[in-house]
Amino acid sequence: MTSNEDFLQKLTEGQQLEEDVVDELQRLLPGYKVFQTPQDNEIDRYIYKLIDVVVEKDDHILFGIECKYGKEKLRNCKDVNGWDGDYNTVLNRHSLHNYKEAYFPVYILNYNEFCDKAFTADLPTILKSGNDAGRYVKSSGEVRYNVDSRTWNTYDGLDLTRILTDILRKEKLC
């Protein structure tokens, strides 16, 4: 499989998670506009600060959720980072910069299929989480931060109702 085919397969899997999040939020929030942001429109990507799923009410963005989906455990995570790979969320420098610029609350939902665990956190929690800044640099030069998700909300399995209800409670929408 070429790297482009691999990327497209991972994108498709990640987008399925985004679609599931949209469907569940629409069920939990009737009367709100919930949508998946376009991946191929640079203007929308800029407006929504790269966030995958956005919740609006009366044309006001209430919050956004970035969805991450991992199938494979990061090799040597314990040796490199000092924490178990189950608790690893990979974010890049560009994305973190965009999340910080968002004028609405940002959440990350990371589902690690290999250990059947989901992790969520708001941006302040993410920014306080430890990471191995600069240790994982892709051949393109992109710096990846392997964020320690142990302080995040942790769920066994992908129970979207429970996960999203916790986010809605935090946003005082439930």
The CATH number assigned to the domain holding 33 equals 3.40.1350
Question: Which pLDDT belongs to residue 140?
Answer: 84
Taking all residues of the chain, what is their mean pLDDT, rounded to a whole number? 90
Domain that holds residue 16: 3-170
pLDDT at 1 > cutoff 60? no
Our count of domains for the chain comes to 1
**In terms of DSSP H, where are the helices of the chain?**
3-28, 42-47, 77-81, 93-101, 123-128, 160-170
pLDDT, tens digit, 9 for 90 and up, residues 75-94:
788 887 888 999 999 898 88
How far CA 155 is from CA of 7, 90, 114, in Å, comes to: 27, 18, 14
* Predicted model pTM: 0.90
Q: What is the CA radius of gyration of the chain?
A: 16
